[in-house]
Amino acid sequence: MQERLQDESYKSGKRVLLNGNQAVAEAVKIAEPDVIAAYPITPQTPVVEKLAEFVAEGVLNSEFVNVESEYSALSVVYGAALTGARVFTATSSHGLAYMYEMCWWVAGSRVPLVMALPTRSIGAPWNIHSDHSDVMILKDVGWIISMAENAQECFDLTLIGFPISEELNIPYSVSYDAFMVSHTAEVVEVRDVELPKRKQAYKILPNSEFALNAVTVNDARHKARKTLMKDLENSRRKIEKIGRCFLGEDFSLAEKYRVEDADYVIVTYGGWSGDFKDVVDEMRDEGVKIGLLKLRFLRPLPEEELKEISGDVLVVDRSALYKFGGMGGEIKRIIPEAKNVIAALGGYEIGYSEIKALVRRFVSGKIGEVEWYP
């Protein structure tokens, strides 16, 4: 057996064994939303169950609204958020598709809210497993999209989601791979922090004289969409400022791992990032100058880091849009020579050895512009 760890990380904070879903629920408990509404769907169900348990035990003082669908879940928190309430919901896959119309309404109305999205494939064929098809349909609606690598990031990115969303008045999603992150229990430091109360942009109460989203003509809709897109594009500094305040000085939209002198850079996001980092370490030991850029946020896109990296680039996606993977196509706008792999959809299991084999193929120049793996 190994030596006991006696470093500071063991003593500081509160280390507990949590899976991704439980880590999200722990962070929501700290944020203490006024209203939670969600409809269960695999693999998101444990988030909702845990929060319902917290409310029933009296350790979380939230109004928990049971709804009959995801469309209603987002509608309920939308209405509540307009009255000035802090709100939370969660869904996955077909649930996201079912609430899709409301995703646009909350974004266009500039409503702050946090939604957990363990990422799952969308049928057909029927599949409950991990890929990123669902988060890709949310990506361009006008939400802030964070993507957790592990249970610790599920906790961290949920926690900062509330102040970020409330600062920018843009809805916020914390996304994480189904099962691989949502159901895998890991050591998590539950940070001992307090969040500020919800910051108010506006409140609509029964006696308010306020018209929201009436039928618009001429420039209103154009201006609203333009402002949202510009605000999202320029949200980086505010996101990082809040992130650093709660999570430490090295927090940023993307994590640069051994990229400084790299001849090869792999761009990843989500649960596979750690496997790829292990491969980077192994290949560095062999003398290959390779690094990794992990996108912690898909929206806003960490363009500065993407522009900085040099050498051959491989973008690893777990979803397929037309011709390219979910992020591959748009990263090629920044790095035209980037290669793209669309890997293992619908929970198709690939192991560490296959990830290593993929990286070796990339380094030996055997991967084309876009490839499916397998």
Q: Of residues 54, 88, 155, 179, which one binds another protein by CB under 8 A?
A: 179
Which three-class secondary structure state does DSSP give residue 46? helix
Position 177 contacts another protein (CB under 8 A): yes
Which three-class secondary structure state does DSSP give residue 328? helix
Q: Of residues 143, 251, 269, 272, which one binds another protein by CB under 8 A?
A: 272
Q: Left if phi > 0, otherwise alpha if psi is -120 to 50, otherwise beta: which for 315?
A: beta
Q: How far is the CB of 126 from another protein (least distance, A)?
A: 12
Position 128 contacts another protein (CB under 8 A): yes
Q: How far is the CB of 275 from another protein (least distance, A)?
A: 4
**Among 133, 135, 130, 131, which Cα is nearest to 146's?**
135
Position 8 contacts another protein (CB under 8 A): no
CA angle 101, 52, 147 (to 5 degrees): 50
CB neighbour burial string for 137-152, b if at least 16 within 10 angstroms, e if fewer: bbbebbbbbbbbbbbb
Q: How far is the CB of 183 from another protein (least distance, A)?
A: 6
Assess contact for 273 and 349: CB atoms under 8 A. Answer: no
**Of the listed pieces 86-94, 95-103, 159-167, 352-360, which binds another protein according to CB under 8 A?**
352-360
Which residue, 45 or 184, has its beta carbon nearer to another protein? 184
Q: How far is the CB of 293 from another protein (least distance, A)?
A: 15
How many whole angstroms separate alpha carbon 249 and alpha carbon 246?
9
Position 187 contacts another protein (CB under 8 A): yes
Give me the residue label for tokens 């999570």.
247
Position 184 contacts another protein (CB under 8 A): yes
User: Would you call 354 exposed, middle or buried from its count of C-beta atoms within 10 A (0-12, 13-18, 19+)?
Assistant: middle
Position 296 contacts another protein (CB under 8 A): no
User: What is the footprint of another protein within residues 204-263 (CB under 8 A)?
Assistant: none
Q: Give contact residues for another protein (rule: CB under 8 A).
A: 1-6, 10, 15-17, 128-130, 150, 177-181, 183-187, 271-275, 277-278, 347, 349-353, 355
